[in-house]
Amino acid sequence: MSEFVLQDNMEAAASGSNNQSLNFISREHMLFATPFWQTKVEGVDNEPIKKYCYKLKDKTKGVIISNRGGFHSQEVLKPLPDALQNFFNQVTLWANNYCAQITNINDLVIGNWWVNINPKFTYNRRHDHQKSILSGVYYVDCEGKDIGHLIVERDDNMEFFAGRYQNSSPICLNSFRMLPYTGFLLMFPAWTHHSVEANLEDRDRISIAFNLVDPQMGDSGHDVVHTRVHNNTYG
């Protein structure tokens, strides 16, 4: 929070009298700001993770939640590849480090995770993740300009008030689109509405999504997926 003084020299009123110069002693409050953590993860051996994702698809039954077409896993086959287990360990540390910088939270754990495999023309509708603190998605195999944007949106009807100012500042944005790539990781508050456009490439889009939860809240585990899907095309 910053404090500043704004001096405004008012022009003379129509009566000809001079208005007194006013000092505006203000405090800026960045309220309701939403943090998004985007990074390129280097050093991950994606090949065994990719093979594991296809193994899940071949040997387990998927579910339909936000996905329209494609595969959304609901089971785990153990043991996990070392590369995947190491990723989960490292991303948990990374998430808690960032949370500790802006909150008093530093003990989150991965409550559940799942694999998404999206072949051509499949997508994920807009949804959020209930009963979680943070959500994240890591792209194991994702290449091409038509692979489909990841979209995050606010749900406070900002578009009805911001008008022409919507694109003037991140504060006024109603939605934001990001083109993912192999190694792309995005993490965000779990209540954030998000969706993924249709994959229009002639190859699969493979990602691993996960939720970080407060271990004291209970109700964690891979088989628990609290996803609320919203009624529109991609979102």
In a domain, 163, yes or no: yes
Binned average pLDDT, 10 residues per bin, the chain of 235 residues: 42 54 85 89 97 98 96 95 97 92 89 97 95 95 98 79 68 88 96 96 98 77 52 53
In a domain, 6, yes or no: no
Number of domain units in the chain: 1
CB half-sphere exposure, 195, CA atoms < 13 A: 21
In a domain, 5, yes or no: no
Q: How far apart are CA 94 and CA 206, in angstroms?
A: 22
Q: Under 8 Å CB-to-CB from 187, ≥6 apart: which residues?
A: 36, 37, 38, 91, 95, 98, 134, 135, 136
E-strand stretches of 29-133: 37-40, 67-68, 71-72, 109-118, 123-129
For residues 150 and 186, the answer to whether their CB atoms sit within 8 Å is yes
In a domain, 213, yes or no: yes
| Helix locations, 103-209, DSSP H | 159-162
Q: How far apart are CA 118 and CA 139, in angstroms?
A: 11
In a domain, 13, yes or no: no
Q: How far apart are CA 230 and CA 134, in angstroms?
A: 19
User: DSSP state, 145?
Assistant: T
Whether the model clears a pTM of 0.85, i.e. scores above it, the answer is no
Place of tokens 């999504």: 209
Instruction: Show the domain range for 149.
Output: 34-229
Place of tokens 């899940």: 56
**pLDDT at res. 31:** 81
In a domain, 235, yes or no: no
In a domain, 60, yes or no: yes
**pLDDT at res. 101:** 85
In a domain, 29, yes or no: no
Closest CA to 139 of 176, 107, 78, 182: 182
What's the CATH code of the domain at 190? 2.60.120.620
Place of tokens 């387990």: 60
Count CB-CB contacts under 10 A for residue 125: 18
User: What phi and psi values does residue 49 have, to the nearest 5 degrees?
Assistant: -70, -40
Q: How far apart are CA 28 and CA 89, in angstroms?
A: 38
